[in-house]
Amino acid sequence: MDRPGYQIRDNISLPDSLGPVRVDVTRDDSYRIHVLADVDSAVRTLLAELDDRHAVVITDQVVADLHAGRFTSALADRGLLLGVHAMPAGEKSKSLTTAFELIDWLAEVDFARRDVVVALGGGVVVDTAGFVASAYMRGVPYVNVPTTLLAQVDAGIGGKVAVDHSEAKNLVGAFYQPRAVISCLEHLSTLDARQVRSGLAEVVKKAVIASPQLFEFIEERVDELVACASPAIGVLVHAAGAIKTELVSRDPYEADLRRSLNFGHTTGHAVETVTGYGPVLHGEAVAFGMAVAVDVARDRGLVVPGVADRIIGLIRRLGLPVTLRELAGQPAVDDVLAAMTKIRQIRDGSLRFVLPVEPGTTIIAEDVTEDEVRRALLRDRTAAP
């Protein structure tokens, strides 16, 4: 039986000259962020987003035991599950070694280009699985199902995917948007208090740089948010997603490296690098990095003392570190400064600090000196303002 074919006709003219050929390439990415109360709703939404495509589930060994069963069973029951891969839990798995292992595994299970990677887990899982999806077959679809607060409010959103390197955090990566993000609030009930606080640090960041209303919301509901109790936590996750996507949509590929979303990350990434990616949680490093940036801004007269104290006070009320000695491993000042020097080299010689003026207003400074940073790193912020 003859099969119908597709006829394609072109009639492309030769160029008029031997000068440079202009190449215009655009990409239009869009996806939905679902914030759902329970696992049943999350499973139904995942099946709808897959639209009968086959899928693999990439997770870690802790999340596999806690949350993977209902998702994998639903996929298997419909004949859509190609396989499940559970990496060791923890930041050390966010590596090229893990990425290569996952790529080999995708090839072994005959993963095809229209199939979908489901990233079920926290920031390490969604970052690593997203990077693998960006590289395998030059890019395959992936869906994020973030299970930690940090991943639901930040890591799972925005399409920045990467793995760590001994020289710097997130050194190897890509800009590659997910097919969908499905955040299930029921998953947050299994988090310990430290993981919750780590996630809240990224929400404070968004509030300081972009939303006075969100900042006030957090101030008024500290105890409820630390307890990770609904409905406040649902409002927080939804708001954080809306704010980050609005900011990212203005420059999705970071053509302009001067981004307010990096508030707290210049120091925070350096802390994570020198402590070996693990002892200090990402949100804890960012919280300390925000405190450093606040004090640089205070010393420069960019932020009035009352506002600076308000920001530092909120970070402390959430139980997050604001001094070096509160960080696991207590990294040495000189080691942190050396890691920041490496970041400066990677970023074309500039060490960009996002300095707060007031909630919703920041300044991107490229002239912060080592002496300024050293003073801020050594600052004692344990006394109440």
Nearest residue to 385 via CA among 298, 287, 310, 321: 310
Catalytic residue among 34, 54, 67, 160: 160
Q: Which of 67, 85, 169, 262 is catalytic?
A: 262
In sequence order, which residues have a C-beta less than 8 Å from that of residue 114 and are 6 or more positions away? 53, 140, 141
* CA dihedral for 212, 188, 238, 145, sign (positive or negative): positive
Q: How many residues does the chain have?
A: 385
Residue 269 among the catalytic residues: yes
Residues 141, 134: Cα–Cα separation, whole Å: 8
Tell me, yes or no, if 160 is annotated catalytic.
yes
Q: Tell me, yes or no, if 282 is annotated catalytic.
A: yes
**Any catalytic annotation for residue 91?**
no
Catalytic residue check, 49: no
Cβ-based neighbour number of residue 184 at 10 Å? 26
Please tell me which residue in 179, 269, 352, 379 is annotated as part of the active site. 269
Give the span between the Cα atoms of 182 and 184, in whole angstroms. 6
Whether the CB-CB separation of 159 and 249 falls below 8 Å is answered with: no
**Is-contact 206 241, C-beta < 8 A?**
no
* Residue 258 falls in the annotated catalytic set: yes
The active-site residue out of 3, 9, 138, 250 is 138
Instruction: Confirm whether 262 is a catalytic residue.
Output: yes
378 vs 120, 170, 277, 332, CA distance in Å?
Answer: 39, 26, 22, 10
Decide: residue 18, CB within 10 A, 0-12 exposed, 13-18 middle, 19+ buried. exposed
138 is catalytic: yes
Exactly one of 91, 202, 272, 284 is catalytic; name it. Answer: 202
The distance from CA 327 to its chain's CA centroid, rounded to whole angstroms, is 21
Pairing of strands 353-358, 361-365: antiparallel
Catalytic: which of 254, 300, 317, 370? 254
Residue 342 tokens, joined: 């490496």
Active-site residues, by number, are: 138, 160, 202, 244, 254, 258, 262, 265, 269, 282
